[in-house]
């Protein structure tokens, strides 16, 4: 069976890797360079505990499942690519800087406990014992010890190598201009005037899914872009923190190479990806309030990209009413976290034809128009 994947972010590359390992002929088309979309911007936090939300129980379950698969995913990926993706198991500290924040955090903690998540409440002093560089203003914290992290850029690079080593064919600077659908069946794709036949097309085009031509009209409104600006600072020779720190207005993610990622804005600005003075200022202010020691650090990286968000902020995974068309998009703020579970489950779907219970709740059918008559 000839399989085409549209989009070379972590999701497209990861699915391509898994399918190529299973022996399928996979061609992946990327309109730019692989991994330079949202995947390049990602801070790489794997934080199902810190990012749990009351109304997102299914998504929490998916995140925890993916997090459980991370150790094996990293082991295989590093072994096959020979690239270290900076997988760290240091946990997250969510901090409060005043009484309002503490009340918010207390509410979050109670919600986490109601899901039976392994988290601990700390006083400001206890938080500073774990991370001495935290501001004296920190009055309380939640410790999420099992949250993980990777370097998203290194993971993208490792996936590119592993995909090609497994036999996958990669076409960069090659936009898919149209997906060909005839009588509710995919027949292939167009690259300008060239037609490339395929029995199965997997669309992993991230925030740009709505711009892929040839898909059913209603898919134009499935995914919206949500802009995120993010910065990289360079720590002194000694890392200033070891945990991921979630402050009220910014998060800080230390890397093993001494860089410190500060993120991220969440903006509804359509397809605009400019860095703005206000965005950068707010991130630095939010980071500095929690960790004053960053003041002298050089800024070594800035980036902005678009998170792919669906209407309910959960991904859209699996079969569609069109035969031979699979979607894997809409991972919003959790695409790096959800990569292992997405890629494993989509590869198993292709292999067996069976939609697993794990991804069943995330099918496109949940957006079918509600019939009120
Ligand atoms: C600032 C920021 C911080 C983030 N931090 C985290 C984090 O800490 N943890 C986490 O889990 N997630 C995080 N995310 C979210 C995560 O980055 C995304 O959910 C994830 O990268 C989505 O992966 P993707 O492969 O679907 O999309 P992308 O990486 O955007 O890849 C889609 C690709 O499709 C290509 N494409 C589009 N249309 C076509 C076409 N017609 N033909 C060919 N190619 C096409 C694009 O060029 C692009 O390369 C963050 C995102 C941002 C922006």
Q: How sure is the predictor about 149, in pLDDT bands with cuts at 50, 70 and 90?
A: very high
* 11 within ligand 1 shell (Cβ under 6 A): yes
Same domain, 162 and 73: yes
Residue identifier of the C-alpha nearest atom 6 of ligand 1: 42
Ligand 1: residue of 52, 335, 339 to mutate (most ligand atoms within 8 A of CB) is 335
* Residue 43 counted as domain residue: yes
Instruction: Name the token pair of 333.
Output: 């703020």
- Is residue 101 a contact partner of residue 82, using CB atoms and an 8 Å limit? no
Give the closest residue to 88 by CA, choosing from 335, 257, 221, 288: 257
Same domain, 167 and 76: yes
Distance CA 362, CA 358 (A): 9
Same domain, 294 and 198: no
Same domain, 64 and 166: yes
* Residue 323 counted as domain residue: yes
In CATH, what number is assigned to the domain containing residue 156? 3.50.50.60
Same domain, 280 and 331: no
Same domain, 175 and 210: yes
Give the closest residue to 231 by CA, choosing from 155, 312, 294, 316: 294
111: three-class secondary structure by DSSP: helix
* 336 within ligand 1 shell (Cβ under 6 A): yes
* Residue 325 counted as domain residue: yes
Domain count along the chain: 3
pLDDT tens sequence across 242-280: 999 999 999 999 999 999 999 999 999 999 999 999 999
pLDDT tens sequence across 89-116: 999 999 999 999 999 999 999 999 999 9
Ligand 1: residue of 205, 230, 253 to mutate (most ligand atoms within 8 A of CB) is 205
pTM assigned to the model: 0.97
DSSP letter string, 254-290: E-TTSEEEEE---B--TT-----HHHHHHHHHHHHHH
Same domain, 23 and 101: no
Last residue of a domain, one of 145, 173, 188: 145
* Residue 39 counted as domain residue: yes
Same domain, 30 and 123: no
Q: Look at residue 238 in the predicted model and tell me its pLDDT.
A: 87
* Residue 87 counted as domain residue: no
Taking the centre of ligand 1 as the mean of its atom positions, its distance from the CA of residue 308, in whole angstroms, is: 7
Same domain, 231 and 304: yes
In CATH, what number is assigned to the domain containing residue 253? 3.30.9.10
- The answer on pLDDT for 372 being more than 70 is no
Same domain, 334 and 195: yes
Residue 286, domain extent: 224-310
Nearest atom within ligand 1 for CA of residue 176 = 42
pLDDT tens sequence across 71-96: 999 999 999 999 999 999 999 999 99
Last residue of a domain, one of 145, 162, 184: 145
pLDDT tens sequence across 118-146: 999 999 999 999 999 999 999 999 999 99
Same domain, 63 and 32: yes
Same domain, 215 and 235: no
* 333 within ligand 1 shell (Cβ under 6 A): yes
């Amino acid at each position: 069976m000839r399989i085409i994947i549209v989009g070379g972010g972590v999701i497209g590359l990861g699915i391509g890797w898994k399918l190529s390992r299973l022996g399928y002929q996979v061609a992946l088309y990327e309109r730019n360079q692989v991994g330079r979309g949202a995947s390049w911007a990602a801070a790489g936090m794997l934080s199902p505990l810190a990012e749990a939300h009351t109304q997102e129980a299914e998504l929490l379950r998916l995140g925890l499942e993916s997090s459980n698969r991370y150790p094996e995913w990293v082991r295989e990926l590093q072994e096959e690519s020979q690239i270290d993706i900076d997988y760290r198991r240091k946990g997250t500290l969510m901090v409060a800087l005043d009484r309002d924040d503490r009340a918010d955090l207390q509410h979050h903690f109670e919600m986490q406990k109601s899901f039976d998540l392994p988290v601990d409440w700390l006083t400001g002093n206890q938080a500073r014992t774990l991370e001495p560089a935290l501001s004296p203003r920190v009055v309380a914290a939640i410790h999420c010890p099992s949250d993980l992290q990777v370097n998203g850029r290194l993971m993208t690079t490792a996936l590119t190598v592993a995909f090609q080593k497994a036999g996958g064919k990669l076409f960069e600077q090659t936009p898919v201009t149209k997906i060909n659908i005839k009588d509710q069946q995919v027949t292939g794709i167009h690259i300008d005037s060239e037609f490339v036949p395929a029995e199965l097309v997997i669309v992993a085009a991230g925030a740009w899914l709505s711009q892929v031509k040839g898909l059913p009209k209603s898919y134009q409104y499935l995914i919206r872009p949500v802009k995120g600006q993010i910065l990289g600072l360079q720590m002194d020779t000694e890392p200033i923190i070891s945990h991921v720190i979630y402050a009220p207005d910014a998060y800080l993610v230390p890397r093993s190479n001494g860089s410190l990622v500060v993120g991220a804005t969440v903006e509804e600005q359509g397809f605009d990806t400019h860095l703005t003075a206000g965005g950068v200022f707010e991130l630095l202010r939010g980071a500095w309030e929690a960790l004053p020691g960053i003041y002298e650090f050089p800024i070594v990286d800035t980036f902005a990209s678009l998170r792919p968000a669906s209407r309910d902020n959960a991904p859209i995974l699996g079969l569609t009413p069109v035969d031979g068309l699979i979607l894997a998009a809409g991972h919003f703020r959790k695409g790096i976290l959800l990569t292992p579970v997405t890629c494993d489950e989509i590869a198993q779907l292709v292999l067996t034809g069976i939609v697993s219970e794990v991804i069943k709740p995330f099918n496109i059918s949940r957006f079918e128009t509600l019939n009120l008559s």
